[in-house]
Amino acid sequence: MPYLGSEDVVKELKKALCNPHIQADRLRYRNVIQRVIRHMTQGLDVSGVFMEMVKASATVDIVQKKLVYLYMCTYAPLKPDLALLAINTLCKDCSDPNPMVRGLALRSMCSLRMPGVQEYIQQPILNGLRDKASYVRRVAVLGCAKMHNLHGDSEVDGALVNELYSLLRDQDPIVVVNCLRSLEEILKQEGGVVINKPIAHHLLNRMSKLDQWGQAEVLNFLLRYQPRSEEELFDILNLLDSFLKSSSPGVVMGATKLFLVLAKKFPHVQTDVLVRVKGPLLAACSSESRELCFAALCHVRQILHSLPGHFSSHYKKFFCSYSEPHYIKLQKVEVLCELVNDENVQQVLEELRGYCTDVSADFSQAAIFAIGGIARTYTDQCVQILTELLGLRQEHITTVVVQTFRDLVWLCPQCTEAVCQALPGCEENIQDSEGKQALIWLLGVHGERIPNAPYVLEDFVENVKSETFPAVKMELLTALLRLFLSRPAECQDMLGRLLYYCIEEEKDMAVRDRGLFYYRLLLVGIDEVKRVLCSPKSDPSLGLLEDPAERPVNSWASDFNTLVPVYGRARWATISKCQGAKHHGPELPNTASFATSGSLIPEENKETIQELPDSGALMLVPNLQLTAEYFEKTWLSLKVAHQQVLPWQGAVHADTLQMALQVVNIQTIAMSRAGARPWKAYLSAQDDSGCLFLTELLLEPENSEIQISVKQNEARTETLNSFISVLETVIRTIGDIKS
Amino acid sequence: MIGGLFIYNHKGEVLISRVYRDDIGSQISDSALFSSSRPFLEERRNAVDAFRVNVIHARQQVRSPVTNIARTSFFHVKRSNIWLAAVTKQNVNAAMVFEFLYKMCDVMAAYFGKISEENIKNNFVLIYELLDEILDFGYPQNSETGALKTFITQQGIKSQTKEEQSQITSQVTGQIGWRREGIKYRRNELFLDVLESVNLLMSPQGQVLSAHVSGRVVMKSYLSGMPECKFGMNDKIVIEKQGKGTADETSKSGKQSIAIDDCTFHQCVRLSKFDSERSISFIPPDGEFELMRYRTTKDIILPFRVIPLVREVGRTKLEVKVVIKSNFKPSLLAQKIEVRIPTPLNTSGVQVICMKGKAKYKASENAIVWKIKRMAGMKESQISAEIELLPTNDKKKWARPPISMNFEVPFAPSGLKVRYLKVFEPKLNYSDHDVIKWVRYIGRSGIYETRC
């Protein structure tokens, strides 16, 4: 390991660097310096030889200089006092007759990240801005940004900013682009570089002279410019037209984004642009550069969300090839799932069916889920394919098919009959928790149509002792009780056994509670059981909330060609949110205090939580009755008042959460099924003054984070804060119990 | 903007690490940086390690070339055994970052050939030099190999002459960023390579599921001065425009012209001229560069047709017969032909009979590899194999991966033909006739698969 024994290495290097014989021999001297850099690269701390390296910088050998400067830039923060010694040499180099040496010295000097260096670099930078060699000017312009970064939040130097603005007219294209980048960083507090009409037009005229990086960057800056008139807008679009066909996919996407954003009021122009970039995008999707292909596919998906038919005639381009990497195949399957229409559905399904038997279990499951997605529109064909897949008797296939069936029965009740006929026999091939839950749920809800449903459940009851997943046991309890209602004679005996086991022997609290609950419910009488279990299902129209049918182009135009389509919107929201939260950490005062108190509350004393609301000014009304329709209407009409992210491990025990929320008078309006990804829940609460709090919980298991968005019908910050702290306490408590 | 660049070998050891901005791998504020500098270096190491642990050493397949670890995005590209990773905290353009990484690979390859661990270790000084010039403060700067050559001094000892110094100045201020002034050659020469890769996905019944050719025209020019070049090919649109004259000509040339789906050009090509009159004119960079890149999907000449026949005899035996037919002029020779026939995982033994070339069963790759050195056009060859299987109780059906093929043919499968390449240099006195020109067509297989 390079991390060990660093002292010996440093000692040896030091000795070598001091050796006058080595110093005299240029090649050997350089070799030793190379060794220092090599150790640095491997992560070894060689800051011990800083002094010797500074000495080595006084040389005419440019390679040696470069190496030493690289070393100094890395370790200057560790040895600021010694680094000051090097400044002298660097300053001298800044007036070297060779522009390359000048540029190198200036760049290195600006990259020394240490306090007090500003006063030394200011003058060389100013000289550099007026240097006759554009190479030095490029370096100097970025040097301004580096200097500003070193200062941190110090005030902006007006003269320097003006100088940079005037350099936007420089002859050299890279200087121009660097000026924009530099101004952007210096003026970050004020909203970045200002693109007014003269600057915009100047940039537009210079576009063709820039290299691809410059073009991409300038296109990005031009997003800020608002053309005054329609005429000007179309002039700009005409001027930029050729960039939609650029050789660089990055530039093409940049240009597309600019077009979409500028033409936000002209939907036909947007559609036209998307038609025109079809070619370049498809080319990128079938290019040999796989990573680029991946990025392009992500954007294709984004476009498909708004224009489902956009790529339909090109569906064959998205067929997977055997040797493609995993990530491209997964993306392509998603794309295929979205561009299905009446003409190609047959071919697409045929193709997807082929993927279902792929060697990679991951890929085959993705293909099955995709078929499930298509089944929402083309139910019969898909259900038939899925049924055939059950015949393969493969564990990893069967479990996913059953899960798909479960979702499908929910969304398209007309296929229930076909699903029920397919189910018998597949219990032998399911081993994992998700699949078992899905199967048990199906048997419970539609048991009256499946002749052998009680016997399958009986098997599960027999083996309940060896069952490892609590979620499966919970599902089993509910399903069996449901089935008991419709087929009492066959189920009574085993329901008794199961309840006995759950109450007397089960270790998992949640399962035991559920058992007890059902037991007591049964004691009250069968009518009561029916009332509770067969209460009307949550409204399927709530699905609207999860998946808005049509997303206009304008809703994502500003996210095009960023990381958002690559990560997905929800995930990006959590990523950027956390970044924001970390920066403004202290502004959320109650987070920390509640977090500690929350984790101390054990589940048994839930009453203590109930007292929490009293301590604040907030009183939530118990037994708030809110219909799903009313909730949905209100939710859509309000803006998010607060959003935050909390850690969360593992899956959700919906019932535990629901109960806990009930305790603090927060009602659950709707929830996703257990195991759905992403998992969502909608909550509501009202305080004594009539202020309504609507909440969405969004859980993405991969990130182990739960995102909370709260909307409020009256904007009152104090009550909002207390409501959030209550909610946070509950969620943290539940989260801690499970982990 | 890119916060840092790392190069790893397959074990996850860092070969090159260059950090451009402080923000990656840590959220250190300036105060933290100055008060205790240890965490600063440690955080940087964390970013390096995080990628190794989460991506290089990950058990599952790579799920995405963009990975987010601790709110830092890692963009990676793999070349043979080497991982190149660009790291950033900003919301950047994914396509741009990947393009930059490719460019980086191209530049490195131009300097020291293949990107391998060995080469990177031997050239690490050069790579640091390159990284210094290509990126500054995380922003891409000049990345043209030709132009970079003036800045990179591998034998740095030699101090530069006055002439060279002025060259740097003129080169970076001049209008044409990709070509130096004052280039002279005794012999003006140019080489054009039309390199195509033909991709095919065919169903077992011989139906083309998808096929496309992605091609590149690579030019190597050794021309003096600032030559103005004009390139012409049998592009359908151009031919149709010109061929309006006589009906006879159109019918004749109509067959020979090709429809290009989309094409892109090197920076040096004047796009305005291409858009208006579809002519390709440019001042080329010195040395090798890629003039254009294009893609066609219509009327592709598929050089080979693969006809598979797989028959399962009982549970322990498979009979495979594969016929390949070459479909081009008999006078041409295809080379380096390799057919890869996948076999099930539980194969115990294979007997192969082939009329031509050599065939071998490679147990480690689960495939029969059949190699033929040369094959003329309009010929046919066949291989038959008997595969013995071990009886297993694994009920999983064998997924039957497709039969893939590799080859090289001396023509362009898209049908592209170079019609002319004219050179004009008004200032120096050499004319188009004095330039020696070479044209070569190479068609290679991309992903050329037939399902069985």
Contact across the interface for B144 and A296, Cβ inside 8 Å: no
CB proximity A296 to B under 8 Å? yes
Q: Which of A101-105, B23-27, B133-137 has the lowest mean pLDDT?
A: B23-27
Report DSSP state, residue A562.
S
The band of B85, judged by pLDDT with boundaries at 50, 70 and 90, is very high
Integer Cα distance of B278 and B237 in angstroms: 8
Average pLDDT for residues A562-568, to the nearest whole number? 86
Q: Is residue A435 part of a domain?
A: no
Confidence check: pLDDT of B64 > 60:
yes
Q: Which residue has the tokens 């086991």?
A: A501
CB B339 within 8 A of CB B306: yes
Confidence check: pLDDT of A317 > 60:
yes
How would you classify the pairing of strands B287-296 and B228-233? unpaired
Chain segment A365-375, per-residue pLDDT in tens: 999 999 998 98
Question: Residue B198 has what pLDDT?
Answer: 94
Average pLDDT for residues A153-181, to the nearest whole number? 87
Contact across the interface for B1 and A254, Cβ inside 8 Å: no
Contact across the interface for B63 and A326, Cβ inside 8 Å: yes
| Set of chain A residues whose Cβ sits within 8 Å of the Cβ of B99 | 212, 248-250, 292
Confidence check: pLDDT of A686 > 60:
yes
Query: B377: distance to nearest CA of chain A, Å?
Result: 27
Contact across the interface for A561 and B100, Cβ inside 8 Å: no
The band of A540, judged by pLDDT with boundaries at 50, 70 and 90, is low
Contact across the interface for B65 and A582, Cβ inside 8 Å: no
Report DSSP state, residue A193.
-
Question: Residue B334 has what pLDDT?
Answer: 94
**Chain B, nearest residue to A357 by Cα:** B399
Query: B186: distance to nearest CA of chain A, Å?
Result: 30
Q: Is residue A522 part of a domain?
A: yes
Confidence check: pLDDT of B368 > 90:
yes
The band of A549, judged by pLDDT with boundaries at 50, 70 and 90, is low
CB B84 within 8 A of CB B120: no
Question: Residue B28 has what pLDDT?
Answer: 33
CB proximity A578 to B under 8 Å? yes
Chain segment A575-598, per-residue pLDDT in tens: 777 655 444 433 333 333 333 333
Integer Cα distance of A603 and A502 in angstroms: 19
Which backbone phi and psi does B228 adopt, to 5 degrees?
-100, 120
Q: Which residue has the higher pLDDT, B72 or B30?
A: B72
How many angstroms from the chain centroid is the CA of residue B183? 29
Question: Residue A219 has what pLDDT?
Answer: 92
Integer Cα distance of B64 and B245 in angstroms: 54
**Chain B, nearest residue to A330 by Cα:** B63
Q: Which of A89-98, A268-277, A306-315, B160-169 has the lowest mean pLDDT?
A: B160-169
Contact across the interface for A292 and B99, Cβ inside 8 Å: yes
pLDDT > 70 fraction of chain A, expressed in percent and rounded? 90
Integer Cα distance of A9 and A603 in angstroms: 56
Query: A415: distance to nearest CA of chain B, Å?
Result: 28
What tokens appear for A292 in the block?
A: 């680029």
Integer Cα distance of A36 and A208 in angstroms: 43
Question: Residue B141 has what pLDDT?
Answer: 87
CATH classification at residue A93: 1.25.10.10
Q: Which residue has the tokens 């990523």?
A: A575
Is B373 annotated in a binding site? The answer is yes
Is B358 annotated in a binding site? The answer is yes
Contact across the interface for A575 and B68, Cβ inside 8 Å: yes
CB proximity A220 to B under 8 Å? yes
Contact across the interface for A135 and B168, Cβ inside 8 Å: yes
Q: Write a three-state SS string for A286-305.
A: CCCCHHHHHHHHHHHHHHHH
Confidence check: pLDDT of B44 > 80:
no
Domain B304-392+399-409 in CATH 3.20.20.80? The answer is no
- The residue count of chain A comes to 739
CB proximity A209 to B under 8 Å? yes
Integer Cα distance of A306 and A269 in angstroms: 15
Asked if the domains B4-25+45-151 and B189-241+256-300+412-450 are classified in one and the same CATH topology, the answer is: no
Residue span of the structural domain in which A500 resides: 440-539
Contact pairs from chain A to chain B, CB under 8 Å? 252
Query: A495: distance to nearest CA of chain B, Å?
Result: 35
- Count Cβ neighbours within 10 Å for each residue of B59-74 and write b for 16 or more, e otherwise: eeeeebbbbbbeebbb
**Chain A, nearest residue to B170 by Cα:** A133
CB proximity A325 to B under 8 Å? yes
Question: Residue A616 has what pLDDT?
Answer: 43
| Set of chain B residues whose Cβ sits within 8 Å of the Cβ of A145 | 137
Query: A38: distance to nearest CA of chain B, Å?
Result: 8
Contact across the interface for B60 and A362, Cβ inside 8 Å: yes
Choosing from A520, A539, A558, the residue where a domain stops is: A539
Chain segment B281-327, per-residue pLDDT in tens: 998 888 888 899 999 988 899 999 999 998 888 888 889 999 999 99
Is B255 annotated in a binding site? The answer is no
Choosing from A222, A251, A285, the residue where a domain stops is: A222
| Set of chain B residues whose Cβ sits within 8 Å of the Cβ of A67 | 125, 128
The band of A399, judged by pLDDT with boundaries at 50, 70 and 90, is very high
Contact across the interface for A107 and B27, Cβ inside 8 Å: no
CB B66 within 8 A of CB B73: yes
| Set of chain A residues whose Cβ sits within 8 Å of the Cβ of B366 | none
How would you classify the pairing of strands B287-296 and B208-222? antiparallel
Confidence check: pLDDT of A28 > 70:
yes
- The residue count of chain B comes to 452
Query: B324: distance to nearest CA of chain A, Å?
Result: 20
CB proximity A621 to B under 8 Å? no
How many angstroms from the chain centroid is the CA of residue B339? 22
| Set of chain B residues whose Cβ sits within 8 Å of the Cβ of A579 | 71, 89
Question: Residue B213 has what pLDDT?
Answer: 92
Contact across the interface for A288 and B19, Cβ inside 8 Å: no
Structural domain total, chain A: 3
Chain segment A493-510, per-residue pLDDT in tens: 999 999 999 999 888 899
Mean per-residue pLDDT of chain B: 81
Integer Cα distance of A654 and A652 in angstroms: 5
Question: Residue A512 has what pLDDT?
Answer: 92
3-state secondary structure of A42: coil
Integer Cα distance of A395 and A426 in angstroms: 9
Q: What is the ipTM of this complex?
A: 0.72
Q: Is residue A188 part of a domain?
A: yes
Q: Is the peptide bond before A678 cis (omega within 30 degrees of 0)?
A: yes
Query: What would the CATH number be for the domain defined by B4-25+45-151?
Result: 3.30.450.60
Query: B242: distance to nearest CA of chain A, Å?
Result: 24
Mean per-residue pLDDT of chain A: 82
CATH classification at residue A638: 3.30.310.10
Choosing from A199, A222, A245, the residue where a domain stops is: A222
Integer Cα distance of B123 and B111 in angstroms: 9
Which residue among A133, A142, A321 places its CB closest to the CB of B136? Answer: A142
Residues A532 and A635 occupy one common structural domain: no
Question: Residue A602 has what pLDDT?
Answer: 38
Q: Which residues contact A677 (CB under 8 A, 6 or more apart)?
A: A700, A701
Q: Which residue has the higher pLDDT, A297 or A590?
A: A297
Q: Which residue has the higher pLDDT, A574 or A33?
A: A33
* CATH superfamily, with its number, for domain B189-241+256-300+412-450: Mu homology domain, subdomain B (2.60.40.1170)
A residues 56..95 contacting B (CB < 8 A): 60-64, 66-67, 70, 74, 77-78, 80
Which residue among A64, A113, A283 places its CB closest to the CB of B295? Answer: A283
Angle, nearest 10°, between helix axes A134-151 and A173-186?
Answer: 10
**Chain A, nearest residue to B263 by Cα:** A247
Q: Which residues contact A486 (CB under 8 A, 6 or more apart)?
A: A447, A448
Chain segment A117-128, per-residue pLDDT in tens: 788 888 889 899
Q: Which residues contact B220 (CB under 8 A, 6 or more apart)?
A: B190, B191, B193, B287, B288
As a whole number of angstroms, the longest Cα–Cα distance in chain B is 84
Question: Residue A520 has what pLDDT?
Answer: 92
The band of B75, judged by pLDDT with boundaries at 50, 70 and 90, is very high
Which residue among A142, A288, A576 places its CB closest to the CB of B214? Answer: A288
Is B103 annotated in a binding site? The answer is no
Name residue A136's amino acid: V
For chain B, domain boundaries: 4-25+45-151, 189-241+256-300+412-450, 304-392+399-409
Q: Write a three-state SS string for A112-148.
A: CCCCCCHHHHHHHHHHHHCCCCHHHHHHHHHHHHHHH
CB A649 within 8 A of CB A705: no
Contact across the interface for B40 and A77, Cβ inside 8 Å: yes
Confidence check: pLDDT of A620 > 80:
no
Question: Residue A638 has what pLDDT?
Answer: 81
As a whole number of angstroms, the longest Cα–Cα distance in chain A is 100
Q: Which of A162-176, A390-404, A636-650 has the lowest mean pLDDT?
A: A636-650
3-state secondary structure of B415: coil
Q: Which residue has the tokens 């006739």?
A: B433
Question: Residue B194 has what pLDDT?
Answer: 94
Contact across the interface for A298 and B94, Cβ inside 8 Å: yes
Strands, sheet with A667-671, edge to edge from the N-terminal-most edge strand: A640-647, A705-712, A692-700, A679-686, A667-671
CB A360 within 8 A of CB A330: no
